[in-house]
């Protein structure tokens, strides 16, 4: 069965460093999402991406965040200058419809 | 602030019983409603979604929606130990974003 994959599974970085989280959505899916979950807290929406552009973003998704679909298969989330509070599990999701149906396994980001 | 509220639990039910999970939401403009299951340390898995008032059944799962009361529930019939997980309620308005609740922890005891 097709699945969403994410790399790396765990990323440790120092405060102020840039990180890129990578996702390979299921092929032929049209809608892509990034969500995050701080340990012990709820899942939070970051951004949605459709037709090669951002379709919606949350207040969390400020100028430090960006997304790209550089080659038609990968979908990346970049955090330019990480903060301690960016430590969380980051989930990529993809779908054929406007429902985040398939989540990847997540990347655990630890900012020290 | 648009809130999605769930009892954190844990909700404990014996194997074979019906588990009833509840969720309330504050935004009357919400249009679609979702239930995800999340095992510890794993990503959310979509169980089902509902758009209209009433019941929607899928196998052992039934979602119930009452927009007037701003209430959505998930019933799990014939609960199994493998159903033990955290169940996340999520709500969407007119856009793409899902607003999640904190989840209810379900424990099914053999």
Closest CB to B43 among A31, A55, A91: A91
Q: Which residues are CB-contacts of B70 (< 8 A; sequence separation ≥ 6)?
A: B24, B25, B26, B28, B30
pLDDT digits (tens, 9 = 90+) for A77-104: 999 999 999 999 999 999 999 989 999 9
Q: How far apart are CA A11 and CA B43, in angstroms?
A: 17
Q: What is the mean pLDDT of chain A?
A: 96
- Chain A residues at the B interface, defined by Cβ less than 8 Å, are 31, 33, 35, 41-45, 48, 50, 55-56, 58, 91, 98-106
Residue B1 has pLDDT above 80, yes or no: no
Mean pLDDT for B79-102 is 96
Buried b (16+ CB within 10 A) or exposed e, A11-30: bebeeeeebebbbbbbeebe
Using pLDDT thresholds of 50, 70 and 90, give the confidence band for residue A71.
Answer: confident
- Best to test chain A binding among B32, B98, B104 (most A CBs inside 10 Å): B98
């Amino acid at each position: 069965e097709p699945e969403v994959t994410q790399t790396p599974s765990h990323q440790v970085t120092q405060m102020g460093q840039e990180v890129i989280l990578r996702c390979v959505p299921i092929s032929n899916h049209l809608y892509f999402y990034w969500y995050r979950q701080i340990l012990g807290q709820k899942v939070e929406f970051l951004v949605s991406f459709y037709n090669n552009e951002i379709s919606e973003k949350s207040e969390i998704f400020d100028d430090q965040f960006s997304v790209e679909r550089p080659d038609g298969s990968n979908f990346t989330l970049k955090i330019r200058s990480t903060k301690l509070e960016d430590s969380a599990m980051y989930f990529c999701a993809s779908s054929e419809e406007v429902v985040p149906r398939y989540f990847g396994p997540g990347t655990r980001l630890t900012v020290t | 602030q648009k809130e999605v509220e769930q009892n954190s639990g844990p909700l404990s039910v014996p194997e074979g019983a019906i588990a009833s999970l509840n969720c309330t939401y504050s935004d009357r403009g919400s249009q679609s409603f979702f239930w995800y299951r999340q095992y510890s340390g794993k990503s959310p898995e979509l169980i089902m979604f509902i758009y209209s008032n009433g019941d929607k059944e899928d196998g052992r799962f039934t979602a119930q929606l009452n927009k007037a009361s701003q209430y959505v529930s998930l019933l799990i019939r014939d609960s199994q130990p493998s159903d033990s997980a955290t169940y996340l309620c999520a709500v969407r308005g007119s856009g793409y974003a899902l607003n999640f609740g904190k989840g209810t922890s379900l424990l099914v005891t053999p």
